[in-house]
Structure 1
């Protein structure tokens, strides 16, 4: 797979994402449902702790990717839904650090929402991967 960043403006690079990516030569595509801070039994974890929720949601996303023999390096689209945009930005380093370690800056959309599926949840991460 070949990824070509498309950035008519450079401001997004400082926060860790490209405006777009041209993806060529893929064989497989994985559409992930939103990952949250749920444990293996489907119970919300870390009520009121955004950083802990982001860490567990990223762990869960990486587990889903691994189930398809993929990693964060294969993510070509990333969406974040949060009930508190300011608090999410305060711990965005977790997300940027993980993608940075994987060597990618996938296009990203961040949306503030009123609530998620369970009232305790503060963040949901949705990804599309290609390999």
Structure 2
């Protein structure tokens, strides 16, 4: 299986995501449902703290990727839902933040501002699609 990251030269190369990923060859598709900043009993964590909630979501997504036999290098699409776009952008642009993917190969991504998530204290939710060798 081959994955190719493409940022067409005619378009701005965004530092937070790759424009296109192609996958060819035998593969296994992995779909991870929207992950919220919740504990093992679906209670909100880090209430009011976008950075804390983002980190919890990323930790939970890493656990799910590992359970499916995948890593962040296998993620081919990420969709992010946030209540406060400015707060999220501040987290994403903080130079102190680290990310689990290779800095030259972030997954393609869509960022959507919403008015509410499944619990009023959730500020963020992220779902993923990953591909591994079949």
Structure 2 length as normaliser, TM-score? 0.87
Of residues 3, 9, 12, the one that matches 1:10 is: 12
Relative distance call for 1:77 and 1:71 in structure 2 (3 A) is: same
Please identify which structure carries the higher strand content: 2
Please identify which structure carries the higher helix content: 1
Deviation, 1:95, is 7.3
> 1:121 corresponds to which residue?
122
> 1:112 corresponds to which residue?
113
Q: Distance in 1 between matches of 2:91 and 2:3?
A: 27
Instruction: Give 4+ residue runs of structure 1 displaced > 4 Å after superposition.
Output: 93-96
5+ long unaligned stretches in structure 1: none
Q: Distance in 1 between matches of 2:50 and 2:72?
A: 21
Aligned length: 128
Structure 1 length as normaliser, TM-score? 0.89
> 1:97 corresponds to which residue?
99
Please tell me whether Structure 1 or Structure 2 has the larger radius of gyration of its CA atoms: 2
Deviation, 1:116, is 0.4
5+ long unaligned stretches in structure 2: none
